[in-house]
Structure 1
Amino acid sequence: MTDLRWPTAQPTLSADGLTLRPWGPSDADAVDAACQDPEIVRWTSVPFPFRREHAEGYVGPISAQAWANKTDVNFAAVDDDGTVLGSFGLLRMNSAQRVAEVGYWVAPGARRRGVARRAAAAVTRWALHDVGFARVELLAAVQNAGSLRVAEQIGFTREGILRSAGVGRGERLDLVMHSRLPTD
C-alpha cells in the first residue's frame, strides 16, 4: 500500500477564481455569522445552537489539531478580496484505507455562484492526486438538492442511499453516497 503524501504545512489551493487556505483566528466572525444560517444547521453537523466559542474553536485549535493529527483538513474558501465564502475540506479520513469524505458549507450570500462546485472539486483533486487517497466520498441528504447537484457536476458517482445515516438539526437523515476515484 502506498503511503499518503502529506505536505509539511497545510497548503493553499487554487479553485477556479477562489482560494482555499487554512483557517485563522480572524475568520471567527465570518464562521459565526454563516453558521447561524438554518440551511447550514439543517444539512451539516455544526453544533446547534451555534455559539461564538464554536467559531473560535473551529478556526483555531480544532482545525490546527485536525491538520497536525491528519484526522480532518479544513479550508476557508475566500474570494479575491478575502471574504469568507464557505468551509471546505476532508473529514472522516482513514489513512490506512486511504479513504476520506469531502465536506463543506457555503455562506448564504455566496450561494448560487458555483462556490461549492469549484471548491469541492479542488479539494477532491488535491486529495486524490496530490495526497494519494484512493477514494473520496461525498454524502448528501436525500432532500439536499444543491449538494446532490454539486456531486453530479464534479464527477462523483452515485452509489446508493444510506438510511438514517446522518443527523441534521436533531433529525435523522437518509444520505446519498457518492464517490470519486483517481481514475474517474
Structure 2
Amino acid sequence: MTTVVLSSTDLTLRPWEPGDADALAALADDEELRRWTSHRVAGPQDAVRWIATQEAGWKSGKRLSFAILMTGRVVGHVVLKRSGGEAYGEVGYWTGASARGLGVASRAVELLTTWAFDTRTGAGLSRLELIHDTGNPASCRVAQKTGYTLESVLPPRTPHEAEGHLHARERVTVRLP
C-alpha cells in the first residue's frame, strides 16, 4: 500500500493512523457531527476499530480515507470511495467543531479532488460525486465552492432519512490542436 499525503499551504491530508484514536474520539463527541454523519465513534476503543476499517479501505483501494490536519492537529476527515475499476468515485467529508466555518472542508475537498483527477500521480478518475442531506446547507456550500454541480435531488433511502443532493464534478481534459 502506497502512502499518499496531500498538502497545501495550511492543510495536510494523510491516511488515518492508530495514534489518531484519541483525537478522533474527541472530534466524534460532537452533536452537530453526529447529526450529519452515519458513522458513529463512541470513545477511544471504537476509534481504534474505525481507524482499522479505514486502513482496510486503503488496502482494498475502495475507501481512501484521510485525516485532515491543520497546523499538525487532526480537525476532520475526507474520503474518496471507489467502486471497483470504475472511472468515478464519491467524496465524503466532515470537520470537527474547531474547524467549522474556516473553509477547511472546502479546501480539503478541493485538494482531494485535484489528486483524484490526476492521471499521472493520483487516482486518475474522470467523475466524482458528492452526496449530502438536503437539510445541510453547509455541505451544499462546500460542494458549490469546489465546483461540484447540483445534478439531482435523491429520495430518502429509508423512512428515517431525508432527501439528498447529488452534486458531481467531471475531470476537465484539455485537448491541444
User: Do they superpose with TM above 0.5?
Assistant: yes
Identity %: 34
Match of 1:40 in 2: 33
For the pair 1:173 / 2:162, whether they are aligned, the reply is yes
For the pair 1:112 / 2:101, whether they are aligned, the reply is yes
How far did residue 89 of structure 1 move?
1.3
Residue correspondence of structure 1 range 145-160 to structure 2 within 5 A:
145-160=137-152
How far did residue 166 of structure 1 move?
7.1
Give the ranges of 4+ consecutive aligned residues of structure 1 lying more than 6 Å apart after TM superposition.
Answer: none
Change (3 A) 1:16 1:143: farther
For the pair 1:30 / 2:23, whether they are aligned, the reply is yes
Question: Aligned with 2:163: secondary structure?
Answer: strand
Change (3 A) 1:127 1:166: farther
Counterpart among 39, 42, 67 of residue 58 in structure 2: 67
In 2, Cα distance between the equivalents of 1:166 and 1:12? 36
In 1, Cα distance between the equivalents of 2:68 and 2:137? 21
Match of 2:7 in 1: 14
In 1, Cα distance between the equivalents of 2:18 and 2:55? 11
In 1, Cα distance between the equivalents of 2:86 and 2:37? 24
In 1, Cα distance between the equivalents of 2:129 and 2:60? 20
Cα-to-partner distance string for 1:15-53 (whole Å, 9 max, x where unaligned): 341000111111111111111211211111112x73433
Question: Aligned with 2:2: secondary structure?
Answer: coil
Change (3 A) 1:96 1:131: same
Measured on the aligned residues, the alpha-carbon RMSD in Å equals 1.8
Unaligned runs of 5+ in 2: none
- What amino acid is aligned across from residue 148 of structure 1 in structure 2? C
- What amino acid is aligned across from residue 130 of structure 2 in structure 1? L
How far did residue 99 of structure 1 move?
1.7
In 2, Cα distance between the equivalents of 1:43 and 1:121? 20
Question: Aligned with 2:162: secondary structure?
Answer: strand
How far did residue 148 of structure 1 move?
0.2
In 2, Cα distance between the equivalents of 1:173 and 1:50? 24
Question: Aligned with 1:183: secondary structure?
Answer: coil
In 2, Cα distance between the equivalents of 1:51 and 1:28? 9
In 2, Cα distance between the equivalents of 1:144 and 1:16? 28
Change (3 A) 1:114 1:166: farther
Q: Is the 8 A contact 1:20 1:76 kept in 2?
A: yes
Structure with more relative contact order (C-alpha pairs < 8 Å, separation 6 or more) = 1
For the pair 1:99 / 2:58, whether they are aligned, the reply is no
Aligned residues: 170
In 1, Cα distance between the equivalents of 2:151 and 2:42? 32
Q: Is the 8 A contact 1:158 1:178 kept in 2?
A: yes
Unaligned runs of 5+ in 1: 1-7
In 2, Cα distance between the equivalents of 1:100 and 1:62? 19
In 1, Cα distance between the equivalents of 2:158 and 2:142? 18
